[in-house]
Amino acid sequence: MRTELIIGIFVLAQSMMAQPQRPATYFKQHIEVLAHDSLEGRLAGSPGERKAMRYITKQWEEMGYKVLTQKVPIIKNRRPSNKSYVKIGKKDVKWHLVRWSGEGKAQGTIKWLSCNEETDKTLNLEGRIPVMQECDFDPHHGPTFFERLSTLKRKGAQAIIIHPTAISERDTNTAYTFQWYSIPIITIPTIDSTYDGKSIKLNIDIEIDSTYGFNVYVIDSCETNCSGKTVVISAHYDHLGNGIIGSRGKKGEVHNGADDNASGVAMLLELSRKLMEIKHNKHNYLFVAFTAEEMGLVGSKHFVEDPPYDLATTLANVNLDMVGRLDTLLQFLGAGSSSKWDKILSVLEKKHQKVAKFKWGGGGMGPSDHASFYKKRIPVVHVFTGLHEDYHKPSDDADKINYRGMEITYIILTDLLAALDTISEMDYIEVKEEQMTVRFKVTLGIMPDYTFSGKGLKIDGVVKGKPAEKAGLQAGDIIVKLGDYEIDNIYSYMEALSHFKKGDKTTIIVIRNGKEITKTVEF
Ligand SMILES: [Zn+2]
Ligand SMILES: [Zn+2]
């Protein structure tokens, strides 16, 4: 009895020693390093991002990979040079560059453009520089802000002045802009209807501060019976720094980005480790950690435009972005990009139904690096465990990662890669893109306080003349109920809002100075 027990323990100890570390142990290690405060939010081009790059490189080298890099130019800021000016009559006026402004000279008369005139089909702006105002266009059918700018340009505007109420302060922050119009777009704080007809002359000349980041990648090449195809597995390793770009939380605080996207990088590393062990794959596997995704897919765009391998051999891109918060639902976005995904994923769903629910479909234009591949007519899938409260906030920390969930995702993804290895061709489907963002028929006219973490939606400001102001709501109020809908956070607020249409009247309950107040709101 005793001997048996001792032998039993011995065997157990031996098998424990022989067993490699569990993936969850690695996931925890990678994420705790990558999402550590000392990396300062891994802003592309920053020293913190370089630290992350060195960590990834070291991991791959230890696995036995040859690590390759690709330098990616990054525009830090676009600011007006001292050649720039705006003169009304003969006088220089105070002005600000709007982040989507192009460069150029323009001269003409100011056209104070009413919202009605703006939609007038006969509008001709030759020789005139319009002032685009804040307009209450129908959010469902009306033109978007960018469509409005494009229309004015098409109608002959050589430059556009945006009325300060029509843009937010953020729109004059010119850091990390990657897309802009071909004409100057500015705002003038003092502009009003009395400027109509006055002559204006301007020159917008832009200086660029630039830096660079690195795409880091390794290739596990096929050795025998090769298909000649390449599967690209990707994850971006940059994040928001201290919130200078894209933050939904407090600027100035470090945004650690544990789920977005230390989790994806950790998964990338472990999948590459797994492949190193298998060594009998038919395809080549290229694992790439992208820089500057948060700035507008800058790293991946550069990678597909100047590919360091033969892009035409790409079978598919599997993009890992936010894979650390598996509840039960594992999503494969963009899986409408090839009919093969359906086949692969239905088999996997059945096999893993006890541990996860699957959801897949849609086009590949989603907001992550797979979109760069999809635009090159490559089938893509974006693996995603879902959006949450801490998304793009300083609170996206390592202690909120579900490591067991990551292990489940890892097992499913190793099966996915195994399934891909048996396929030699994948069709590409161009999916008609629907509006990805939720559009509302109504607006309350509030600015939410994204830093508020209690129950409900805290109001940061109310817009003049909109339903919230008319109902008597104030900054500081916390909305807890709208009609029959309980409001827990911004998501339930948006969900509630989608149930109303223009003209609807309902009650709204807010907490003000600790007391519940009921008001009536009319949309
Ligand atoms: Zn991301
Ligand atoms: Zn992000």
- pLDDT digit string, tens, across residues 410-427: 999 999 999 999 999 999
- The per-residue pLDDT for range 434-454, each reduced to its tens digit, is 433 444 567 788 877 755 667
The last residue of a domain, from among 204, 237, 267: 204
- What CA–CA distances, in Å, run from 6 to 2, 17, 18, 410? 6, 17, 18, 35
Domain interval for residue 504: 446-522
State whether 58 and 92 are in the same domain.
Answer: no
Which ligand has the shortest distance to the CA of 240? 2
Q: What CATH number does the domain containing 143 carry?
A: 3.50.30.30
Task: Report yes or no on 99 lying in a domain.
Answer: yes
Q: Is residue 126 part of a domain?
A: yes
Q: How far is the CA of 292 from the centre of ligand 1 (A)?
A: 10
- Whether 236 and 371 have beta carbons less than 8 Å apart is answered as no
Predicted local distance difference test score (pLDDT) of residue 510: 96
The Å distance, Cα 480 to ligand 1 centre, comes to 30
Q: Please state which of the ranges 78-92, 490-504, 508-522 shows the lowest mean pLDDT.
A: 490-504
Which residue, 313, 407, 454, is CA-closest to 26? 407
CA dihedral 260, 180, 334, 249 (to 10 degrees): 30
Using the predicted structure, report yes or no on whether residue 522 has a pLDDT greater than 90.
yes
65 plus 140 within the same structural domain: no
Q: Give the pLDDT mean for 258-264.
A: 98
Q: Nearest bound ligand to CA 384?
A: 1
In a shared domain, residues 141 and 281:
no
Q: Which ligand is nearest to the CA of 255?
A: 2
> For residue 72, what are its two tokens?
């990616």
CA torsion, ordered 419, 424, 427, 428, to nearest 10 deg: 80
- Strand order, beta sheet including 230-236: 68-80, 206-220, 284-290, 230-236, 314-320, 380-384, 329-333, 357-361
Assigned domain for 334 exists: no
Same domain, 37 and 165: no
Output the domain CATH number for residue 252.
3.40.630.10
Q: What is the mean pLDDT of the chain?
A: 89
Query: Domain boundary residue among 144, 172, 204?
Result: 204
432 compared with 317, residue with greater pLDDT: 317
pLDDT for res 423: 95
Decide if pLDDT at 11 tops 70: no
d(CA 161, CA 186): 5
Mark the residues whose beta carbon lies below 5 A from ion ligand 1.
260-261, 321
Statement to judge: residues 113 and 218 lie in one domain: no
pLDDT on residue 20: 66
367 and 481 together in one domain = no
Distance 42 CA to ligand 2 centre (A): 11
Query: Would 353 be classed as within a structural domain?
Result: no
Q: What is the CATH number of the domain that holds 495?
A: 2.30.42.10
Summarize pLDDT for 92-148 with one digit per residue, the tens.
999 999 988 999 999 999 999 999 999 888 999 999 999 999 888 876 677 888 889
Domain annotation covers residue 52 = yes
Residue at a domain's end among 180, 204, 228: 204
pLDDT of amino acid 5: 44
pLDDT at 490: 72
How much distance in Å is there from the Cα of 322 to the middle of ligand 1? 6
pLDDT of residue 172: 81
- Whole-number Cα distances in Å, 504 to 114, 271, 346, 483, 498: 27, 52, 43, 10, 12
Q: Which ligand lies nearest the alpha carbon of 236?
A: 1
Residue 392 Cα to ligand 2 middle (Å): 6
Please state the rounded mean pLDDT for residues 266-279. Answer: 92
Give yes or no: residues 260 and 162 share one domain.
no
The segment with the largest mean pLDDT, out of 119-133, 254-268, 383-397, is 254-268
- On whether residue 281 sits in a domain, the answer given is yes
* Smallest-distance ligand from the CA of 295: 2
The verdict on 137 and 91 lying in the same domain is: yes
Ligand 1 centre to CA of 516 (Å) is 38
- C-alpha 270 to ligand 2 mean position (Å): 21
pLDDT of residue 61: 97
CA of 510 to the centre of ligand 1 (A): 34
Distance 168 CA to ligand 2 centre (A): 21
Query: How many angstroms is it from 421 CA to the middle of ligand 2?
Result: 30
Burial of 288 (0-12, 13-18, 19+ CB in 10 A): buried
Question: Residue 302: what pLDDT?
Answer: 96
pTM, whole model, 2 decimals? 0.74
For residue 429, tell me if it sits in a domain. Answer: no
Strands in 192-313 per DSSP E: 199-204, 206-220, 230-236, 284-290
Q: Give the range among 262-271, 384-393, 470-479, 491-500 with minimum mean pLDDT.
A: 491-500
Measured in Å, residue 260 CA sits from the centre of ligand 2 at: 6
Considering the domain architecture, whether residues 218 and 160 belong to the same structural domain is answered as: no
**Ligand 1 centroid to 71 CA: how many Å?**
20
Distance 236 CA to ligand 2 centre (A): 9
372 Cα to the center of ligand 1, angstroms: 14
- Of 134, 130, 131, nearest to 145 (Cα)? 134
Residues less than 5 Å from ion ligand 2, measured at CB:
260
Which ligand approaches the C-alpha of residue 366 most closely?
1
pLDDT exceeds cutoff 90 at 81: yes
Most confident of 105-109, 147-151, 162-166: 105-109
State whether 267 and 374 are in the same domain: yes
Lowest-pLDDT range of 38-47, 258-267, 435-444: 435-444
Residue type, 242: N
- Before 215, cis peptide (omega within 30)? no
Q: For residue 439, what pLDDT is reported?
A: 46
Mean pLDDT over 67-89 rounds to 94
Centre of ligand 2 to C-alpha 261, Å, is 7
pLDDT band at 363 (very low <50, low <70, confident <90, very high): confident
Tokens 């003038």 found at: 188
Confidence of residue 8 (pLDDT cuts 50, 70, 90): very low
Pairing of the two strands 199-204 and 85-88: antiparallel
pLDDT in tens, 365-388: 888 999 999 999 999 999 999 888
Q: Note the ligand closest to the C-alpha atom of 261.
A: 1
What confidence score (pLDDT) does residue 421 get? 95
pLDDT of 24 above 90: yes
In a domain, 437, yes or no: no
Same domain, 222 and 262: yes
Q: How far is the CA of 291 from the centre of ligand 2 (A)?
A: 12
Q: How many domains does the chain have?
A: 3
For residue 460, pLDDT beyond 80: no
Flag whether pLDDT at 6 surpasses 70: no
Same domain as 197, residue 149: yes
- Alpha-carbon dihedral 392, 393, 399, 405, rounded to 10 degrees: -30
Ligand 1 centroid–CA 483 distance in Å is 34
Residue 201 or 166, more confident: 201
Question: What's the 418 CA to ligand 2 centre distance in angstroms?
Answer: 28
Compare 495 and 515 and report the one with higher pLDDT.
515
Q: Which pLDDT score is estimated for 2?
A: 44
Looking at 126-140, 265-279, 326-340, 482-496, which range is the least confident one?
A: 482-496
